[in-house]
């Protein structure tokens, strides 16, 4: 279920953790709100902030090391892969035969499930492939996508809170040189927090938007090259079931989905 922590991406993960705790330490070393509350024995917010940082780090490792939904080579022996019963197969129209028998030209998967894609970096086909994220050095797919979104949400809260804390710690000075001498390290930390906040905010917003449409980053960016989307119009998505149902299915429904069944549901045009 989880990758080797010392495998690919070890340096990226190490750098992420070190930077996270270094910035956290800077926020406590300077005369910020957290430092003042700690010195006055008001420990609720300092402890809560550290716990939230710890949760964000744990979520980062979970998403980074989790199996994103790799399609195993032996799954190609069946028609649809693990967990698909004969009764479910009978519910899928015969017209879908040509689509469900796609073969991966890179790995040993003989019948690639719909919405899966081969990742050149991970060297695996990934179910409901979204993208390969260099930040976590892992793919974002069917199994870890919701955890990735949760991680982004928690990380955004930590970053914005940290930015507010950093702002509270700037000390006045008679001139710019004296001000930079006093606040240079804190200013650098605040600049990183502001930069990361904008990046995470954009990522979180874009993922929530795509999730509400039941589409993926790969499908959104490359729909003109994807066989099962080529015939669809610019605003047509065969997997869209409405915003609320899409969000409910993404966050609350666990397990693999037979996308062929949804694709060829009543009202869809077979290819």
Which of the residues are catalytic?
133
Calpha distance 166→27 (Å, rounded): 6
Phi-psi region of 178 (alpha: psi -120 to 50; beta: other; left: phi over 0): alpha
User: Is 88 in a helix, a strand, or coil?
Assistant: helix
Residue 151 has, within 13 A of its CA and on its CB side, a CA count of 20
Looking only at Cα atoms, what is the longest distance across the chain? 79
| Burial per residue of 223-232, b for 16 or more beta-carbon CB atoms within 10 angstroms, e otherwise | beeeebbeee
Calpha distance 154→134 (Å, rounded): 19
Residue 117 bridge partners (DSSP): 126
| DSSP H or E segment with residue 124 | strand 124-126
């Amino acid at each position: 279920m989880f990758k080797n922590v010392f495998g690919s991406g070890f340096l990226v993960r190490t750098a992420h953790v070190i930077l996270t705790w270094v910035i956290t330490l800077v926020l406590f070393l300077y005369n910020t709100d957290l430092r003042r509350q700690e010195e006055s024995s008001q420990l609720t917010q300092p402890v809560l902030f550290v716990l939230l940082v710890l949760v964000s780090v744990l979520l980062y490792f979970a998403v980074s090391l989790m199996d994103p939904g790799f399609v195993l080579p032996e799954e190609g022996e069946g028609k649809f892969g693990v967990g698909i019963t004969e009764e479910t197969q009978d519910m899928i129209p015969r017209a879908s035969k040509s689509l469900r028998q796609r073969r991966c030209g890179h790995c040993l998967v003989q019948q690639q499930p719909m919405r899966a894609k081969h990742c050149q970096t991970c060297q695996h086909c990934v179910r409901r492939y979204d993208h390969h994220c260099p930040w976590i050095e892992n793919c974002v797919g069917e199994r870890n996508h919701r955890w990735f979104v949760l991680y982004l949400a928690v990380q955004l809260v930590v970053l914005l809170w940290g930015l507010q804390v950093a702002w509270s710690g700037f000390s006045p000075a008679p001139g710019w040189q004296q001000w930079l001498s006093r606040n240079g390290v804190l200013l650098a930390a605040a600049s990183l927090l502001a930069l990361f906040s904008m990046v995470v905010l954009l990522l979180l917003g874009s993922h929530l938007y795509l999730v509400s449409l039941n589409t993926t980053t790969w499908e959104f960016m490359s729909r003109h090259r994807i066989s099962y989307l080529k015939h669809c119009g610019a605003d047509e998505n065969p997997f869209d079931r409405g915003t609320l149902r899409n969000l409910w299915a993404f966050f609350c429904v666990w397990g693999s989905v037979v996308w062929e069944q949804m694709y060829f549901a009543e009202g869809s045009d077979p290819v």
